[in-house]
Each structure stands twice: as structure tokens, then as C-alpha cells.
Structure 1
Amino acid sequence: MTLIAILMGTIAAGVGSVWLAAALGFAMLARFTQHMLSLAAGALMATAFLHLLPEAFESQAGAHDLFAMLLGGLVFFFLLDKAELWHHGHEHHHTVAPDHSDDDHSHGHAHAHEHAHHAHVHDHRSGGWAVLAGDSVHAFGDGILIASAFLTDMRLGIVTSLAVLAHEVPHHIGDLVVLRQTSGTQSAALLKVSLAGTVTALGGLVGYFLLGRFDDLLPYFLVLASSSFIYVALADLIPQLQKRLSFRETAAQVAWLMAGIAIVTLVSSLAHRGH
């Protein structure tokens, strides 16, 4: 009975939060793309700095080891980004065959191709794999958390599942914004983030059978997930917002960024109150 409750709770929290985020996020994304990028950046940074990292540092794990994990995570996601960009560039290079013999025309074609390739890389920003990897790690940790709550008390498990579901919605909106850019379609983005969300159930199963052994590793999972969200926000989203804008447009950007931080902060405080 407890195992069934854990599976129901983890699937509701892990996948339900993604679909709820999609229902809210895609409707707004269609109308406010740039504003959603600001909201996503704020939500991802707030999730990392105000929720995951404090939880990790409240554990018995050493600060030096956790910071080393954070640094290692940032370097890892940077290398993952490089591999993704190289793959896109390599793929793009092989799809374009130079078939013009005239030197001047070839030069013009090469210049146009270089410009188009630059636009291609800019439009299909990297960061998708980093978000999915971070989401999966985060979801696994959530599953262990939900399992431990159900094993303690059934009502606590239900409250924790609802708290995780509510808490995940703002940052999943951010994930879907990033994946919508890298995947090209809403359905592909939704499928990828939903699959990452199902890892919550895996975490729940592992937590149910091996909870005692994973207690010491949970802080490192939290820090690794944090590093992915920080990397995506600072390396992928924020640079897209660094444009020369009017005062009014800049104020709107800052307001949406702060809104992303405020929403996660509010939901996080309510979730902790629920605990």
C-alpha cells in the first residue's frame, strides 16, 4: 500500500507539475516570449539559490565538498553545452554542399552561410541537455524525499507530494521555455520534460527500497541539480536578455526576472510551511 502511494505521489508531483506548467507557460509563451525568458531565468536561479542549495548545506555534508560538486557541475554542463554545439555545427556542416565554382559568388555564398549558421546557433540555443540532466537529478532527489515522507507518515507523504508538485511548476515553466527554443516544438519540449519528470518515480522506488543508503548522497544530488539551473540561467538565458533596450523594455525585463524569483520564493515558503 505504501509503495503504491509513493508511486502515485511521485508521478503526480513529477509529471503532473510539468503538465500544469505547460498549461500555464505555453499560453503565456505564445504572447510574451522575451518576458518568459526573464521569468525562466529568475525561476531557475531562485530554485537553485533559495531552495536546493540551502537544503543541501543544511545537511551534514562538508561545505568544501558541496562547493567542489557545484564547481564540477558547472564545468560538466559547460562541456555538455560544447558537445551539443559541436554536434549541431558538425551536422549543419554536412548538410550544406558547396556547388558554386565562381569565386566571387562562392565568397558571397560563404558569407551568407556563415551568417545563416550564426543565426542557426543563436536561434537553437544550447542548454537543452543541461536542463534535462538537471531536471532528472532534481526529480530523483524529489522522489527520495517523497518516499521518505510516505514511509514516515501517509499524510505527510501526501502533503509533501503536493508541496513538490506546487514548487516544481514555476521552474518547469522555465524548463519548457528553454526546451521550446532548443526542440523547436511545444510537444517535443513537453515530452522531454515529462520524461525527466518520470525520474521522480524512480527516485521514489529507490527511496522505498534503499532509503538509508542514499541519505548521505542526497545533498550532492541537490547541488548537482543546482549547478545545471545556474548554468542555464547565466550562460544561456541571461545573455539573450543582454540587449540594448529602451528604459521601459529594460524595466519590464527586470520586473519579469524578479517575478520569477518571487514566485519560486513564495511557493517554496508555502511548501516548507506545509512540511
Structure 2
Amino acid sequence: MRAVFGLVLIVGVALAGFAVFMVKDFLGQQAKMAAAQAKQVETVPTKTIYVAKRQLKYGEELTQADVRQVAWPAAALPEGVYTEKEQLFPAGDARPRYVLRLMEPSEAIMEVKITKPGEDAGLTSRLEKGMRAFAIKVDVSSGVSGFLRPGDRVDVYWTGRVEGFDRNSNGDVTKLIETGIKLVAVDQTSGGTISEAVVARTITVAVNPQQVAALAQAQSTGRLSLSLVGNHDDTVAEAIEVDQRSLLGLAEAPQIQEAREHPEEEICTIRTRRGSDVVETQIACN
């Protein structure tokens, strides 16, 4: 019996050892497969590029705080991306770059989506906070013979007839309504690279909303003329208003002066209908 028991014990130990060996071998194979799979994923070639950190809108200035670096599969690399900081923000060049297309977060920064250093994205990048672009119609005389350039400053004069004034005594009036407003475009050109005089049809100025309303009213009720301001001229023009009589140095007409000194007595009446008749009765004027 002891021999049989010993034989069974030896067989049991052998089977247990074999089971342990099989489990260890299985676990080893699983570890090798996992390592092989991880190694296979790491072998996909990537390249570091710059992407948008947040949503970037058209006309915004692109800064270093708006971009970040990510690893991008080299096989799917878009054309015109930026892989080096010096390419996107050249050292020693403080000129800004602007966004030309809407970009979502983590979207690749590409050459076609931003301007070159120093270029602008159009009128929106030229307008300061709170300012609006307003177009003024001009011709060869009112537009300073075509010598206006984007970036120049002009004074705006209005010429017209004020309703309710005596036309025989006053005529048209010319008044300075805006001073030193900035030009942001001449016709469809917003860059200051015009090398010769160009007779424009419209000029676009940067003004606040209140000035927009004033210029719109002036343009619809009279004629606007522009006066170019010098680059180094920091003086502010005083209030100017000229009519025909002050221009020619004429005295006021005697009958008009007498009428102003001795105004006619105002008479107020009411009309009352009585049958087919209308009776007019004088009353006290309020």
C-alpha cells in the first residue's frame, strides 16, 4: 500500500509541475504578444507640427499663446504646415500675422490659413476696438485729385442748404464736420502701396458709430469734400462755417436786418365751421 501511495504522490507532483509549466509558458506568450503589439504601434512615424489651441476667427492676430505642438502621422501630414517655431514666428521679426480662415481647436496651422508677417487680413484687422468702416463717395475734386492713400488722415467738409433758412440771405453753407479721420481703404485697395495718383470713386474711413450716423446724414443731404492732413500735423482744426455772405464780406440785407430787429407781431387764430361757413377767431398765442 505504501508503494502505491508513493507512486500516486509522485504522479500528482509531476502533473502539478507540468500544469505550472504550461501556465507560465502561456503567460509568457501573452506578454510577448502584448509587447509586439505595443512595439508595432510605436513604429508609426510621426512629426511634430503646430495646431490651434483655441478657435481662431478671421481677422484675429495670431500669437504664440494661440498655438501648441502635437505629434501628427507623417503619412497624413497636410501641405504647408509649420514644424518649427522659427517658421511660424521668425526671430527678430515683430510684425504680426493674422488669421485668414476660421480654425477650430487642434486644427493644423497652414500657410493658406494665415497671412505673412506684416500683411493684414483686410479691413477687419485695421479697425480698432469700437471703430467702424464707412464709405464716402468722392471724385477728382472732392478726393484731393487722387492723392489719397490708405493710412492718411483727412478733414471732412459738408456743403448744403439748411432747411428753414432764408435762401436769399444765406444760400449754401460749408461747415467742417469731422477732423483727422483715418483712411483705411481707397476703392478696393487697403494697402499703402499705391505709387501714383489714382482718382477714386469711394474712400473708406474708420470712425465710431456716432460719426457714422453724422457722415451718413451729411452725405445724403449735401456734398462732402475732403482735405488732406499732413503726416506730422497734430493740430486740431477749430469749428469752421462759411456761407456766401461771410465768404464775400457782404453786409446783411437792410430788409432782413430790419425784420430781425422788429419782428412782426404773431397772431394766432382758430377756425370753427358753422354749417357751410368757416369762422376764424383770434386767440392768445401760447
* TM-score relative to the length of structure 2: 0.25
* TM-score relative to the length of structure 1: 0.26
Query: As a proportion of its length, which structure holds more strand?
Result: 2
**Structure having greater relative contact order (Cα 8 Å, sep ≥ 6):** 1
Query: As a proportion of its length, which structure holds more helix?
Result: 1
